Chains A and B, each alone.
Chain A
Amino acid sequence: MNDFFIPAVGAQFGLLLPYLIVAVGGLLVMLVDSFVKTVKKDHLSFLTLFILIGGILVQILTRSQGGVVLGGMLLVDDYSWFFNSLFMGVGVMTTIFATGSFDRDGVYRPEFYPLILFSILGMMVLSGANDLLTLFLGLETMSLAVYVLVGGVRGNVRSSEAGFKYLILGGFSSAFLLMGLAFLYGFAGGTGFDAIAAAMRSDQPDVLLASFGSGLVLIGLGFKVAMVPFHMWTPDVYEGAPSYITGFMATAVKAAGFAVLVRFVLLMQPQVAFTWFPVLTVLTVLTMTLGNLVALAQSNIKRMLAWSSIAHAGYLMLGVLTLISPAVGGSEMMLRSTEIGNAAGSAILFYLLAYTLMNLTAFGIINILGNRPGEDGEDINRFAGLYKKNPIAAAAMTVALLSLAGIPPMVGFMGKFYLFASVVRAGLIPLAVIGVINSLISVYYYLRVMVMMYMKEPEEDSYSGTEWVSVVTSGVLAILVIYIGVQPDAFHRLAEAIFRQINF
């Protein structure tokens, strides 16, 4: 056993380094917190930022290497490289926003720092999962930390309610996922993804068993990415959680869900994925339409963005559908099909990047509004006259909202463009039309916030913030939103190169 294990880890140390940095960093932050007894927690914030930025640097430097590590449990490739960098980047922004929020309210949550690191560790494991066990454990590591982050604001009933709701429903969906994983284990006779892929390619795969198992897994993952009809928790949890955590959930948790979802449907190609194609088509259309229609009626900005995040999950599901559509998975026209698959996959990656940037910008600004316990602190009215009080914040918010609505030259437009283009190429034109109509509907509710900011006079209780660190961070993100929107080529090529590696 020793000869299997010890030299292997020695050689894999470099590949595991980003994971180790985040994991050991989380433990270190906990230790430092228990030894340094100050009420303000700035040192923890700096330490966390240092760990995450170090993690990103190491991750970027080790891109060229890759491989299966730890006895096949974890896959380190360009795909996980992309997502790990994304997660750690979101972690950096969230830490900045959260620290600003702590300073404003005078309530410090030292548990935030280790938990955000552990949650990111879970996501990193999830994006590189190469075994059903790692998939489940990564998902649970991520989710458990987020449950605590959502519900851990003391003395805030909405936060406790949101945390409890998320915990119960999350546990429920995990049960579905676990049952599905058990069926897949029964199907393949092993938990490794390679065992499942081999079973799929065997002469007579047990399609019924695998479909049943993968359907249950899709339910569990659908819950995490807020797909209709597994979306019920989203508005309440997004509203009740502190804004910096909502931003984290809307971006990193959703991206992690899609990271594993895409890997999973690729694994299920072609027959099994195809059994779920009709069902997923209906659910995707419902997700987009319901999300946008209900968002129209919201007056709380966080609820509105929650419904809009459901709609965006629908757009991303369009990409997943294209991946498993008959034109791609079919045996005929294999050359053309792989090409469409690559187009769809790289569009998903690009859209996730775009969505992360624009949503974080928006939540950075919302975060400065503050979570006033017991009041409706996030009513859209509080944006009234923001332009006069803080033009930079108003400008950043405007960029984020225009981008979410998919208006050029923001990155959201390019994301939707690549996505819908791949859907059309796969021949799913009705779906693309529904997607475009939906993004037109969404313009209305995003514009409403902009009207508030620019055309209304400031009211007494409307926001006047001085949290310059958060405002400037959002401003930088907004500049990125415009920059990548104008110059998408480099990033799109990168996404394509990454996806080509895992699409076979």
Chain B
Amino acid sequence: MEGFLFWFCGTLMFLGGLMMVVQRSAVVSAVWLVFSFLCAAGIFALLSAPFLAVMQILVYAGAIMVLFLFVIMMLQGPVLDGERVPIKKGLWPFIALPPAAVIILLVGWVKGEGLRSLGDAPAPGFGTAEGVAQLLLGRYLLAFELISIVLLIAIVGALVIGKRERKLPWK
């Protein structure tokens, strides 16, 4: 059952990602991304991390993507127009080769090694809100603080690039 759910969510997530990339309208792309996020939530739930799964849906699929959609719609998000230019036939092998190689390697590896479990069953309390909080403010404190600085830089950057120029009055 677990195996089935993993492949189910994984395949759908992959397809969602693919559909997101090939869409011509930014809004539709964003909706496909939401779909992909929902599948990722399923995988988190399978990894016995229910809190992460819920947060994935609430925060990413919910809040963040809604914000994205608002921004895209307010800015009249781009829809690519014009003729679709077909790729020259001779180029196809070169385009298809790298992904095909990766897929073949991956399948071969899964067949050869099997999907190992990376450890024993998680300890009680793993993946709950409390467990996540303890990790976040304990072992991963540095990462947590650094991310807040990264976000601060992003805010400053957005303000700086969006702001108008200010010159000295006497220049």
Chain B positions within 8 Å of A138 at CB level: 146
A137 touches B146 (CB 8 A): yes
Chain B residues near A140 (CB-CB < 8 A) = 150
Give the contact-size bracket for chain B. 35 or more
Complex Cα distance A134/B143, Å?
Answer: 6
Is B160 a contact of A70 with CB atoms below 8 Å?
Answer: no
A154 engages B163 (CB within 8 Å): yes
In the complex, the answer to whether A73 meets B156 with C-beta atoms within 8 Å is: no
Q: Mark A200-213, 1 if CB is under 8 A from B, else 0.
A: 00000010110010
Question: Is the Cβ of A70 less than 8 Å from the Cβ of B141?
Answer: yes
| CB-defined contacts of B138 to chain A, threshold 8 Å | 1, 4-5, 71
The distance from the CB of B132 to the nearest CB of chain A, in whole angstroms, is 12
- Tell me, rounded to whole Å, the shortest Cβ–Cβ distance linking B112 to chain A: 9
Q: List chain A residues, Cβ under 8 A from B169.
A: 39
Residues of B within 8 A of A111 (CB): 156-157, 159-160
Task: State whether A114 touches B143 (Cβ < 8 A).
Answer: no
Contacts of B166 in A (CB 8 A): 39, 107-108
Q: Contact: B140 with A133, CB < 8 Å?
A: yes
Closest to A70 in B: B142
Which residues 87-113 in A have Cβ within 8 Å of B in the complex?
Answer: 106-109, 111
**A189 to B118, Cβ gap below 8 A?**
yes
Interface flags, B148-160, vs A, CB<8A=1, else 0: 0110111011011
A73 touches B171 (CB 8 A): no
Among the listed B147, B160, B163, which residue makes an inter-chain contact with A137, where contact means beta carbons less than 8 Å apart? B147
Partner among B134, B141, B157 whose Cβ is within 8 Å of the Cβ of A148: B157
Pairwise interchain contact A73-B143, C-beta atoms closer than 8 A: yes
For residue A79, CB closer than 8 A to chain B, the reply is: no
Does residue A121 face the partner (Cβ distance < 8 Å to B)? yes
Most buried by A among B146, B159, B169: B146
Closest to A156 in B: B165
B160:A133 contact, CB within 8 angstroms: no
> Which of chain A's residues 309-328 have a Cβ closer than 8 Å to chain B?
none
Q: Determine if A147 is an interface residue (Cβ-Cβ < 8 Å).
A: yes
Partner of B167, one of A106, A145, A148, A152: A106
Interface flags, A206-247, vs B, CB<8A=1, else 0: 101100100000000000000000000000000000000000
B20-53 interface (Cβ within 8 A of A): none
Cβ-closest chain A residue relative to B118: A189
The answer to whether A137 and B143 touch across the interface, beta carbons within 8 angstroms, is yes
Check if A1 sits within 8 Å of B134, measured CB to CB: yes
The answer on a CB contact under 8 Å between B143 and A148 is no
Chain A CB within 8 A of B113 CB: yes
Q: Is the CB of B143 within 8 A of A118?
A: no
Measured CA separation A241–B134 after assembly (Å): 42
Bound CA span A98–B167, Å: 16
Q: Is the CB of B157 within 8 A of A121?
A: no
Q: A73-B143, A125-B146 are in contact. Are A118 and B152 (CB under 8 A)?
A: yes
In the bound complex, how far is the Cα of B169 from the Cα of A206, in angstroms?
Answer: 65
Residue of B nearest to A5 (CB): B138
Q: How far does the Cβ of A465 sit from chain B's closest Cβ, in whole Å?
A: 17
| A106-B171, A141-B149 known; A134+B142 contact, CB < 8 A | yes
Compute how far the CA of A26 lies from the CA of B156 in the bound complex, rounded to whole angstroms: 12
**B157–A152 touching, CB < 8 Å:** yes
- Chain B positions within 8 Å of A56 at CB level: none
Report which residue of A106, A122, A154 has the largest number of chain B beta carbons within 10 angstroms of its beta carbon. A154
Do A121 and B161 have beta carbons less than 8 Å apart? no
Is the pair A141, B134 in contact by a Cβ cutoff of 8 Å?
A: no
Closest to B147 in A: A137
Query: Which of B109, B142, B168 makes the CB contact (< 8 A) with A208?
Result: B109
A118 touches B167 (CB 8 A): no
A301 near B: Cβ within 8 Å? no
Contact B153 A73 (CB under 8 A): no
B159 cross-chain contacts in A, Cβ below 8 A: 111
| Inter-subunit contact B153/A144 (CB<8 Å) | yes
Output the nearest chain B residue to A160 by Cβ-Cβ distance. B161
The answer for the CA separation of A265 and B143 in the assembled complex, in Å, is: 23
- Nearest 3 pairs of A and B residues by beta carbon: A148-B157, A106-B171, A154-B165
Instruction: List B residues at the A interface (Cβ < 8 Å).
Output: 105, 109, 113, 118-119, 134, 137-143, 145-147, 149-150, 152-154, 156-157, 159-161, 163-171
What are 21 of the A-B contact pairs (CB < 8 Å)? Answer: A1-B138, A23-B149, A26-B149, A39-B168, A40-B168, A71-B138, A71-B141, A73-B141, A106-B167, A107-B165, A111-B156, A115-B156, A115-B157, A118-B152, A152-B157, A152-B160, A155-B165, A160-B161, A186-B118, A189-B119, A209-B109
15 further contact pairs, Cβ within 8 A, besides A111-B156, A163-B161: A1-B138, A70-B141, A71-B139, A73-B140, A73-B142, A106-B170, A107-B166, A111-B157, A122-B146, A133-B143, A141-B149, A145-B153, A145-B157, A147-B157, A212-B105
